């Protein structure tokens, strides 16, 4: 989707130049003078560009933020005066970025891409919160915030940035490139890295650290700030286009460095919140709300991956456990007790299986247990252990009485050879195992038939599929 940029500029020549540059960059552009600001912002753009001809851009910034409200877009200020004090005044007023005019086109477009990209997590978090409130969901309680870690990475014992600011709640450290990439560093969470690309320290290995940090699991979500020489626009472009959160010239004021680092840490916090929200949503989608076990949807996806990953000599076991006489329990004691029985049995099954095994609720009183690497003797022993554990643990009710509970289990074994045999019977040639090709249904049906035989033979026993 094309990003929309509103250009506010009082010089017709500058308006034309900026509009042409952004149009060539495939942006949707709206243009107007500062007197037309309200009209330009009727439909909130993805970014606002204040041109060099706006007489008092700093005073206009708060008005733009007020007009656009909670969905305030990033604001880029182009100015012929980018002295540290003027830059800081614009940033403190609410500008997202301040760039020198006349602009370097490559640097300008890299900055624009970066600020639009960084603004999206804030908008997404706001959308999710609004949607949650509309559904009546309470906002998550605030959690304890540990001290954040900020690591300055420099091959020089005395880094170029001399006037380094202190930030409340942030622990600052210095280390070299090799330390950051060491195995020990993987166990320590870092909120942001600052990479020194200035002067003689801007070597190829130092610059290669940026994509390395973005590629590694333990650092890919951290904020990354690159320090570069004031006139080295190319370094800023390379940093931003390779995944840096911000690129900061070394001639900025100490207060600007602090402000930028605070914004980088805030962005990291918002992204972390979004990831946790997504993970929680996925967890809700794949968990059974009553027992806390994985549900059938997850179990089938898990089995599909397990089956497709089997080596020829790696067997796995699949069991279906069914609570005996569960309807009678519900009819005699009520559904509240029935729910208690389901939860207790689920807990007992989990307690008697390994962390690498899967226990899922298929629905009703049926459970699926998958032992990823197990031969028949091991699986049979595990099934008997599960049956005995449940049968020897009656459910205690509030009135002191007990409900005897037993389970019947159907056990089937699988390996790559068996899968290929089933595939051959179905004349399937695709290498991947999918939920729709019938193979998984066959695997579950084999265990289900063994379960029915266990029921027919008197319940509270294990039967193996033949």
Whether residue 377 is found in the same domain as residue 406: yes
**Residue-wise pLDDT tens digits, 307-366:** 776 554 578 899 999 999 999 999 999 999 999 999 999 999 999 998 889 999 999 999
Residue 300 is among the residues annotated as catalytic for this protein: no
430 shares a domain with 301? yes
Q: What residues contact residue 105 under an 8 Å CB cut-off, 6+ apart? A: 21
C-alpha 165/C-alpha 150 separation (Å) is 12
Q: Rounded to an integer, what distance in angstroms lies between the CA atom of residue 78 and that of residue 263?
A: 20
Instruction: List pLDDT tens digits, range 267-288.
Output: 999 999 998 888 888 888 899 9
Same domain assignment for residues 273 and 362? no
Paired residues of 225 in beta bridges? 194, 246
- Are 271 and 304 in a shared domain? no
User: Token pair of 177, please?
Assistant: 């490139």
Q: Are residues 306 and 442 part of one domain?
A: yes
Q: State the CATH number of the domain containing residue 368.
A: 3.30.70.270
Instruction: Report whether pLDDT(42) > 70.
Output: yes
- What is the reported pLDDT for 261? 95
Helix (H, G, I), strand (E, B) or coil at 323: strand
pLDDT at 107 (0 to 100)? 96
Q: Is the domain of 271 the same as that of 300?
A: no
Question: Structure tokens of 277?
Answer: 């929200």
Residue 248 shares a structural domain with residue 339: no
H/E element, 24: helix 12-24
Q: How far is the C-alpha of 79 from the C-alpha of 50, rounded, in Å?
A: 9
- Strand stretches in 121-235, DSSP E: 148-153, 170-175, 192-196, 223-228
Q: Per mean pLDDT, which range of 83-87, 214-218, 450-454 is the poorest?
A: 214-218
Q: What is the pLDDT of residue 428?
A: 47
H/E stretch holding 452 = helix 439-456
Domain end among 279, 309, 342: 279
The pTM (predicted TM-score) of the whole model is 0.73
- Please check the confidence at residue 432 and state whether its pLDDT lies above 50: no
Q: Is residue 55 part of a domain?
A: yes
Mark whether 346 and 421 lie in a shared domain.
yes
349: domain range? 296-464
Give pLDDT tens digits for 132-144: 777 666 555 555 5
In a domain, 428, yes or no: yes
Residues 163 and 230 grouped into a single domain: yes
CATH number at 28 reads 3.40.50.2300
SS3 32: strand
Q: How far apart are CA 137 and CA 55, in angstroms?
A: 46
CB count in 10 Å sphere of residue 408: 24
Domain boundary (81, 108, 134) is at: 134
Q: Annotated catalytic residue: which of 124, 279, 365, 425?
A: 365
Total tally of structural domains belonging to the chain: 3
Residues 236 and 208 both lie in one domain? yes
Res 183 pLDDT > 70: no
Helix (H/G/I), strand (E/B), else coil: 39: helix
């Amino acid at each position: 989707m094309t990003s929309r940029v509103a250009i506010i500029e009082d010089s017709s020549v500058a308006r034309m130049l900026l509009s042409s540059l952004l149009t060539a960059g495939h942006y949707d552009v709206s243009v107007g003078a500062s007197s037309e600001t309200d009209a330009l912002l009727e439909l909130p753009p993805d970014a606002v560009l204040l041109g060099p001809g706006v007489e008092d851009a700093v005073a206009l910034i708060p008005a733009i933020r007020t007009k656009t409200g909670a969905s305030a877009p990033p604001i880029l200020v182009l100015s012929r005066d980018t002295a540290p004090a003027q830059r800081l005044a614009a940033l403190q007023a609410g500008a997202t970025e301040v760039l020198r005019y006349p602009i370097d086109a490559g640097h300008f477009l890299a900055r624009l891409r970066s600020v639009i990209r960084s603004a999206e997590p804030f908008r997404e978090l706001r959308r999710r919160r609004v949607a949650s409130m509309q559904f009546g969901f309470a906002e998550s309680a605030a959690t304890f915030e540990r001290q954040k870690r900020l690591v300055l990475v420099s091959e020089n014992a005395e880094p170029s940035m001399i006037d380094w600011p202190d930030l409340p709640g942030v622990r600052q450290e210095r280390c070299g490139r090799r330390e950051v990439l060491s195995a020990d560093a993987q166990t320590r969470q870092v909120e942001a890295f600052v990479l020194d690309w200035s002067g003689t320290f801007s070597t190829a290995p130092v610059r290669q650290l940026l994509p390395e940090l973005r590629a590694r699991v333990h650092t890919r979500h951290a904020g990354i700030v690159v320090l570069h020489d004031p006139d080295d626009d190319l370094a800023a472009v390379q940093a931003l286009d390779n995944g840096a959160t911000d690129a900061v010239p070394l001639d900025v004021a100490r207060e600007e460095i602090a402000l930028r680092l605070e914004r980088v840490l805030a962005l990291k916090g918002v992204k972390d919140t979004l990831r946790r929200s997504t993970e929680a949503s996925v967890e809700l989608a794949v968990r059974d709300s009553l027992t806390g076990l994985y549900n059938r949807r997850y179990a089938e996806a898990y089995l599909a991956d397990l089956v497709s990953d089997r080596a020829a000599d790696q067997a796995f076991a699949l069991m279906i456990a069914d609570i005996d006489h569960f309807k009678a329990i519900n009819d005699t004691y009520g559904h509240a007790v029935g729910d208690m029985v389901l939860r207790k049995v689920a807990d007992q099954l989990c307690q008697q299986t390994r962390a690498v095994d899967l226990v899922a609720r298929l629905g009703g009183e049926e459970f699926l247990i998958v032992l990823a690497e197990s031969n028949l003797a091991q699986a049979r022993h595990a099934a008997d252990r599960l049956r005995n554990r449940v049968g020897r643990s009656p459910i205690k009710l509030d009135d002191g009485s007990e409900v005897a509970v037993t389970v019947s289990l159907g056990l089937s074994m699988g390996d790559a050879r068996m899968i290929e045999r089933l595939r051959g019977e179905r004349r399937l040639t695709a290498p991947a195992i999918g939920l729709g090709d019938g193979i998984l249904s066959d695997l579950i049906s084999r265990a289900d038939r063994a379960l029915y035989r266990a029921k027919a033979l008197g319940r509270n026993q294990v039967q193996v599929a033949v």
